[in-house]
Amino acid sequence: MNIDEFKNNIFVEAKNQKFEEFEIYYTKTESVNINVYSHQIDKYNENTSIGISFRGIYNGKMGYAYTEILDDASVSLLVECAKNNALAIDNTDQEFIYAGNDTYSLFNNFNEDLYKVTTDEKIRLALDLEKKVMSKDPRVINVSYCSVASSDVEFYIINSKGISLHHRYNYIFGAVIPIIYDGNRKYTSMSFKISNDIKKIDFDSIADEAVKKALSLIGASQITSGKYKIALKNNTVASLLITFARIFSADSTQKNLSLLKDKLNKAIASPLVNIVDDPHMEDGLASCPFDSEGVPTHKKYIVKNGVLNTLLYNLKTAHKDGVKTTGNASRRSYNLAVNISPTNFYIEKGKKTFDELITNMNEGILITDLAGIHAGANGITGDFSISAKGFIVKEGKVNDPIEQFTLSGNFYKLLMDIEDISEDLIFDLGSGSGYFGSPTLLIREMDIAGL
């Protein structure tokens, strides 16, 4: 049974079961994951998954059910399960089926050329990436991780109020971790690139960057504990944004899980800081003309000149706060309820180059890597204590490498303590949904626990 037949049958069944409003959410994902080790394929996985969720309002409550099978038996089972789910709900939160809008932006972030890249070609790219790394320097003794992965996702939202929406996107990812040996000890570092355009991924530059980063750590020492001026490299800030993004969700403030509650139109960051959520960003991997409820999306400043401009809303949380939704409803999977997520979420870049920022910094610590960030972070209070690597900055120059120290701070305070922002904006894919970016930030002061 195809999706159109299934939709027609389930809509008839939902009406027969006296659902007031209803919706189906269909998703299909094709993924390829290739890991290479010692010039051979170490792990290979090629998978296609299909899932469909039905949700509807019955007796004033929203019931959910899902299946991976599109047949007649699933039609009646889905509707019955959603009905029972609705009857079991005892909270008073009101959920909605969106009525539609004719102002959807027209754009496409599905790359046909990438879709045509065969699995054999992806295997060759992974094997070649490992070879490139091994050839970069005689001190490269092995590659602990080398991967090429791709994903192609399409989904439909069709509801009883007239919405019929479709979107498709894809991307490819390359990553590598070389092992360097200088005769005394081993060093590692990771480099990766991700894009929906394979022409924009330079696998040689991935290999080159990974090896150079690992070599730069040779001779790394420890540092004395204390308070230091800190430059947070762009990749580390992107990781922090991924970790703490939920503080900007209205669902978090309504559940008292974010300290941004009641902070609307108040300063929560340095006046230099602008934080943007842009679902229409060119090359943004989270770009989409509508959210997971079918609401049209738009670019918005979450923080403007340091002031909290808005939270992220879906229909339910917007209704509770008496505002309009921001179009940030999300479903990380067809088998999960509607939630809230950022799209392309980033700190706007400044005007200085990275070198100019370091020159103006003069003395301090450059943080280039964070490890175990989720384990060392409290998503409610904003506190974090994370193992880090980096470099000493002396007289405006990046100097000796340092390691085996802990960077401690508070994300809310970090935003207030930003003294400068460079222009080197980069992005990283979130673990669930969203595409997160930041330039390098200069922070007034943070705690280092070392020797």
| Token reading at 271 | 């006046």
Q: How far apart are the first and last CA of the chain?
A: 65
Global pTM value: 0.95
Q: What is the pLDDT of residues 192-204, one digit of tens each?
A: 999 999 999 999 9
Confidence of residue 126 (pLDDT cuts 50, 70, 90): very high
pLDDT of residue 430: 81
**What DSSP string runs through 61-97?**
EEEEEEES--SHHHHHHHHHHHHHHHHH---------
Write out pLDDT tens, residues 169-212.
Answer: 999 999 999 999 999 999 999 999 999 999 999 999 999 999 99
Per-residue pLDDT band for 88 (boundaries 50, 70, 90) equals very high
Rounded mean pLDDT, 315-332: 97
pLDDT in tens, 422-436: 999 999 988 667 999
Spatial distance between the Cα atoms of 275 and 69, rounded to a whole number of angstroms: 41
Rounded Cα–Cα distance for residues 242 and 239 (Å): 5
For 282-323, what is each residue's pLDDT tens digit? 989 999 999 999 999 999 999 999 999 999 999 999 999 999
d(CA 448, CA 350): 26
**Residue at 114: amino acid letter:** L
Q: What is the pLDDT of residue 432?
A: 67
pLDDT tens digits for range 345-380? 999 999 999 999 999 999 999 999 999 888 889 999
Beta-ladder partners of 63: 56
C-alpha to C-alpha distance for 78 and 81, rounded to whole angstroms: 5
| Distance (Å, whole) CA 146 – CA 188 | 13
| Amino acid (1-letter code) at residue 145 | Y
CA distances from 200 to 31, 87, 169, 239 (A): 20, 51, 16, 22
What residue type is 42 in one-letter code? D
Residue 1's pLDDT is: 82
Q: What is the pLDDT of residues 388-422, one digit of tens each?
A: 999 999 999 999 999 999 999 999 999 999 999 99
The pair of structure tokens assigned to 43 is: 């792990």
The CATH number, out of the four listed (2.130.10.30, 3.30.2290.10, 1.20.1260.10, 3.40.50.920), of the domain defined by the range 3-215: 3.30.2290.10
Domain extent listing, the chain: 3-215, 226-449
Q: Please check the confidence at residue 234 and state whether its pLDDT lies above 90.
A: yes
